[in-house]
Amino acid sequence: MAVTEPDRLIVAWDDLDALVAELAGQIGSDYDVVLCITRGALVPAGMLAYRLGLRNILVAAVAYYDDTGQPADQPTFLQFPADPLLRGRRVLVVDEVWDTGTTIAAVVERVQLAGGSPTTAVLHYKPTHSRVAIEPDHHVVATDAWVVYPFKYGK
């Protein structure tokens, strides 16, 4: 079980597996492609794709911070799938945590502009931090804590 410290939620590998299993149970496998938001979602999106039996995994590399670590006004898409890979597809957009929601909202907009049908899935959702009009379609845990994942810090 995840350890909760003041303002921190520490997720162990076994916890991560349980979270991904619960998320997979919520969403089913009615998707054509998984779109993983890097870097944080690389591990959980891969685990989720295995559980859902999906092999088509694409990557969206998005930076929403400037060189000093401050939030930027607009996202910088460092890498994004070409429109034909998304057009007419049911796209499962996966991120590990929905904090402000600005990154995943920007990805959802790009998928829609490409003609895809996005559904969002995150492990942790921070509703009091969110600054966008949309909410995740699927999430496992709502929290205000800083979430520490095992793949980010090697523990």
Instruction: Name the pLDDT band for 4 (thresholds 50, 70, 90).
Output: low
Domain extent at residue 123: 3-153
φ/ψ (deg, to 5) at 103: -65, -50
Range list of H helices, 6-153: 13-27, 42-52, 102-113, 150-153
User: What is the residue whose two structure tokens read 């998005």?
Assistant: 62
Average pLDDT of the chain?
92
User: Domains in the chain: how many in total?
Assistant: 1
Distance CA 139, CA 122 (A): 5
Predicted confidence at residue 155, as pLDDT, reads 44
> pLDDT tens digit string along 32-80?
999 999 999 999 999 999 999 999 999 999 987 777 777 777 889 999 9
Assign residue 90 the CATH number of its domain.
Answer: 3.40.50.2020
Instruction: Name the pLDDT band for 6 (thresholds 50, 70, 90).
Output: low
